[in-house]
Structure 1
Amino acid sequence: AAEGRPINYGASVAWTYARIEAKEPTMPAPDGTIVWFQQAFSKNNWQNTLATPDELKQILGSVEQGLKEGGLGIGINAGYAPGYGHKEYYELAKLAKSYEVPTYTHVRYLNSAEPQSSFEAYQELISLSATTGAHMHICHLNSTSVQDIEDCADLVQSAIDQGLAVTTEAYPYGAGSSVIGAEVFRGDDWLQRWGVPSASYMEANGKALNQEKVTELQATAPGTVVVMHFLKPDENKEDRAKMDRSVLFPGAAIASDAMPWMDDKGALIEGDVWPLPSNAIAHPRSIACYSRFIEKYVNEYKAVSLVEAMERTSLNACRILEDAIPQMLNKGRVQVGKDADLAIFKLDEVKAVATFEKPNALSTGMEYVLVNGTPIIEAGEMLLDSNPGEAVRNKVTG
């Protein structure tokens, strides 16, 4: 779409949607909404079965069409469909390489213990980079490694040291978010895979659940958005060390993995709504990811300088994308001739106010934000009629 938005915008091609469309023919056609995606979790076939040759052809055809239309790469939510084929993943990597775009993978397994471990899932991804030459990007090194961040990070770093095109990112929280019907929360051993003692580490609408409630929601409302704690870095030094290893991984970007906003009854908040309703629920990373990184890792922990923090929250993402997306060569840099995408803030006033109990609370300290040289925040106030953002597309479409 050529219509402006407040921020620059683009999207990868959703393999998940293509797979659901091929494997679940009774589902309506994908409409790109979270509601459609939630409804898909009442189905099981797409998550746990191999694609037939005809289905694979349809999946690859749909994904390729998206690349021709400017997709920024192939988004592969493998953790939501762990039963898909290794050959299917191989074909997706080959397709990405043929268009010289990355894959962005939420890896197949979330599991601290073998077999079917996160470590094994990273091995699969790394092997495809080695065999196809594709740029394989790992989404959320923190949450997809669960308790095994140290060994997983060592493995990924070794691949990078060998010259493989592998990149990653993380968000500065020890909790992930998804829908309760996802395969990562199913099975008798799901708590052991996450490495946590009880179902109370999962929350819905800010309230801790028990196993009985988890089972009930999976049967009756599998699209319910939940928050799952796997580390508690603000309470535990060992968890903080694991978090640091992922968030401060060399060359990694800080990425929010933002979730859509729901009300406290579970209904999606749709449209251009601002300010958010007082009962809006999501993971706090949806609104406070970057403020939390600056507050914690610059101001409190003194773990990185402000310059390095800016590199991790802006330039590193551009570096990950720019070979496939030439527009990103003009982003993330404060230089003559580059796009004027600028954030101006008071460092000592930057605070992530949002919590898991009150996730919609606005961060403080941000004074001005400019997109392509035009303010969208001015003197701390959002300019709701300012839409200077532009579409970002792959080099196939320019």
Structure 2
Amino acid sequence: MYKVLIGLITLVFTACTPQPDASVEYDKLIINGKVLDGTGNPWYYADIAVRDDEIVKIGVVKAAARDTIDASGFYVTPGFIDVHSHAASGLTKPELSDAKPLLLQGITTVFVNPDGGGAVDLKEQRQGLLEDGLGVNVAQMVPQGSIRKEVMGMEDRAPSSEELEKMKQLVREGMQSGAFGLSSGPFYAPGSYAKTNELIELSRVAAQLGGAYVSHIRDESNYTIGLEAAVDEVIQVAREAALPGIVTHIKALGPPVWDLSETIVANIEKARAEGVEVFADQYPYMASATGLISALVPRWAEEGGHEELVKRLKDPEKLPKIRTAMEKNLARRGGPDRIQFRYYSPDSTIEGKTLKEIADARDVPPLDMAVELIKKGRPGIVSFNMKEEDVHRFMRQPWTMTSSDGGLVEMGQGVPHPRNYGTFPRKIRKYVLEKEVIDLASAIRSMTTLPAQVFDISGRGQIREGAKADLAIFDLDQLLDKATFQQPHRFSKGMEYVLVNGQYALEEGQISDRRWGRVLNHSDQ
């Protein structure tokens, strides 16, 4: 009787205990990792099973898998989503399409065509991106500035009703081709020639097809309408066009607007309390990058393009007026010692040096030096113009995503902004671990679930069953951005594995020879 009782107890216990599912074989199984699912929740231990391109089970997984990754001591997170990337042109080149600098940061998806620039024909761009394969996924935006230039050239005027309809049709075609929204750059010409009502009209088209509005705002300092009014413009577009509005690479640029972050945050919070969807993205650096022309030259002087600008700079009657504006803009940037050249095709020897260093070496006033450089080309610069307290305040907001504003360039080419190589590890290393501005779970959320939510990227940005298997596995102790402003061509370290659509894009720290990325289509979401 005793043996029978023991047998019955054993049978019941066995029936109630989860048994290994021997009939299921997974492609990959990640075990023993600290899972940060992207929601902002604390990490937890769990196994993650992947079949094809999908996460199919999370928890205690006992079934066999073709590949098992022992993530002991590592964090497992969703792959990072870079919502502001200039990588499109690089990704169309065979030697760069593996996206190595991006994957080594844990990036699995990039949004391209930012600041209102980039391809108008998104179908053609898609073909170019796919030609040599993609190391990462790509989401396209419709570029307002490029569309305006195609329809109106570089003319500083309001569009006719016919021209506006033509621009709206191009936005519609871009959205129907799979774009996730409209990007604008009213700081840059010709996007700057568009008034707010024009941006609203184009955004309404994007809104009809579920898109967002992302803007390099009209003024990040006090060049024209001022920082506060420029952010308010994004809020107005979001409110009147009824779509999410994103202040891209949010900052308070230059001494005249330092400490204004408190006001900007309050204004965004007020709009959100009123039901307006307003967000921001930010890169974790004290310096921005742009062109010397964009930084110093007044927009009216750019009308007609670079050739017309050069003519005006050579005109003794027009130069003084341009020079006066440039002098004020140089002061807004903090002076010539805060401007460092990242590329200049007519003379690469100036790359990595400041405007002050070049001017002093040639015994020329800095402003005259700037004019001469612009006459011969389009210098790219890094501008050291931010204040740490503003960076921290913007970063702490739950509506702030992470972005790089970086691109893909050939190793050793120029002296680019280090954000090309280090943005995402830097935010974790410097602002989570060292400065403790935000916690790790919040930082990961800003890189994953939040952008997926804002841009309606179905099935990505979160570790959950049924989601796409875009995953990053890293050693937090070793995670480090090695790129600096003087030596930017350095890969980040600490990423051990990166899965893109369920496949190894990075395995044991090594980039795969194969490319698993896709061009995402918003209409498929």
* TM-score of the aligned structures, taking structure 2 as reference length: 0.62
Give the superposition deviation at 1:183.
6.3
- Counterpart check, 1:307 vs 2:417: no
- Counterpart check, 1:226 vs 2:413: no
Gap change, CA 1:184 and 1:67, over 3 Å in 2: farther
Counterpart of 2:218? 108
Q: Contact between 1:110 and 1:184, CA under 8 Å: does it hold in 2?
A: no
Q: Which has the higher strand share?
A: 2
Gap change, CA 1:310 and 1:246, over 3 Å in 2: same
* 2:390 maps to which of 242, 258, 264: 242
Counterpart of 1:364? 493
Give the superposition deviation at 1:290.
0.3
Q: Contact between 1:106 and 1:138, CA under 8 Å: does it hold in 2?
A: yes
- Counterpart check, 1:200 vs 2:334: no
- Deviation string for 1:217-271 (max 9, x for gaps)? 322213x32111212xxxxxxx21111012222221111111353xxxxxxx5xx
* 2:150 maps to which of 18, 21, 37: 21
Give the superposition deviation at 1:189.
4.3
Gap change, CA 1:190 and 1:75, over 3 Å in 2: same
Select the structure with the greater relative contact order (CA < 8 A; seq sep ≥ 6). Answer: 2
CA distance in 2, matches of 1:200, 1:65: 45
1:319-338 aligned within 5 A: 319-322=453-456, 328-338=457-467
Counterpart of 2:425? 291
Give the superposition deviation at 1:173.
0.8
Gap change, CA 1:313 and 1:57, over 3 Å in 2: same
AA aligned to 2:249 is H
- Counterpart check, 1:138 vs 2:247: yes
* 2:226 maps to which of 94, 117, 121: 117
Q: Contact between 2:340 and 2:353, CA under 8 Å: does it hold in 1?
A: yes
Gap change, CA 1:197 and 1:180, over 3 Å in 2: closer
- Counterpart check, 1:161 vs 2:273: yes
Gap change, CA 1:149 and 1:80, over 3 Å in 2: same
CA distance in 1, matches of 2:466, 2:291: 43
* TM-score of the aligned structures, taking structure 1 as reference length: 0.81
SS at 1:253 equivalent = strand
Unmatched 5+ stretches in structure 1: 25-44, 232-238, 262-268, 270-275, 323-327
CA distance in 1, matches of 2:396, 2:390: 10
Gap change, CA 1:279 and 1:65, over 3 Å in 2: closer
- Counterpart check, 1:152 vs 2:264: yes
CA distance in 2, matches of 1:102, 1:184: 30
CA distance in 1, matches of 2:295, 2:170: 24
Gap change, CA 1:349 and 1:191, over 3 Å in 2: farther
Counterpart of 1:394? 522
Counterpart of 1:84? 194
Q: Contact between 1:14 and 1:74, CA under 8 Å: does it hold in 2?
A: yes
CA distance in 2, matches of 1:130, 1:358: 43
Q: Contact between 1:372 and 1:389, CA under 8 Å: does it hold in 2?
A: yes
- Counterpart check, 1:75 vs 2:231: no
Q: Contact between 2:469 and 2:499, CA under 8 Å: does it hold in 1?
A: yes
- Counterpart check, 1:66 vs 2:174: yes
CA distance in 1, matches of 2:170, 2:253: 26
SS at 2:138 equivalent = coil
Return the index of the structure with the highest Cα Rg: 2
CA distance in 2, matches of 1:75, 1:329: 20
Percentage of matched positions with identical amino acids: 23
Counterpart of 1:96? 206
Gap change, CA 1:80 and 1:70, over 3 Å in 2: same
Counterpart of 2:404? 256
1:42-57 aligned within 5 A: 45-46=154-155, 48-57=156-165
SS at 1:349 equivalent = coil
CA RMSD, Structure 1 to Structure 2 (Å): 2.2
Gap change, CA 1:280 and 1:382, over 3 Å in 2: farther
* Pairs aligned (count): 347
- Deviation string for 1:89-109 (max 9, x for gaps)? 121122122222111111112
SS at 1:142 equivalent = coil
- Counterpart check, 1:213 vs 2:354: no
CA distance in 1, matches of 2:295, 2:339: 15
SS at 1:168 equivalent = strand
CA distance in 2, matches of 1:319, 1:191: 42
Q: Contact between 1:345 and 1:365, CA under 8 Å: does it hold in 2?
A: yes
Unmatched 5+ stretches in structure 2: 1-125, 299-321, 342-350, 356-365
CA distance in 1, matches of 2:326, 2:521: 38
SS at 2:203 equivalent = helix
SS at 1:282 equivalent = coil
- Counterpart check, 1:172 vs 2:284: yes
- Counterpart check, 1:182 vs 2:294: yes
CA distance in 1, matches of 2:327, 2:397: 26
AA aligned to 2:452 is C
Give the superposition deviation at 1:195.
3.4
- Counterpart check, 1:316 vs 2:450: yes
Q: Contact between 1:177 and 1:259, CA under 8 Å: does it hold in 2?
A: no
SS at 2:193 equivalent = coil
Q: Contact between 1:259 and 1:283, CA under 8 Å: does it hold in 2?
A: no
Gap change, CA 1:93 and 1:339, over 3 Å in 2: same
Counterpart of 2:308? none
Give the superposition deviation at 1:190.
5.2
Q: Contact between 1:80 and 1:183, CA under 8 Å: does it hold in 2?
A: no
Give the superposition deviation at 1:280.
4.2
AA aligned to 2:484 is T
AA aligned to 2:243 is A
Give the superposition deviation at 1:387.
1.3
Give the superposition deviation at 1:72.
1.2
Q: Contact between 1:191 and 1:198, CA under 8 Å: does it hold in 2?
A: no
Give the superposition deviation at 1:152.
1.9
CA distance in 1, matches of 2:134, 2:439: 32
CA distance in 1, matches of 2:161, 2:337: 42
Gap change, CA 1:152 and 1:216, over 3 Å in 2: farther
Which segment drifts farther, 168-177 or 86-95? 86-95
CA distance in 2, matches of 1:103, 1:250: 19
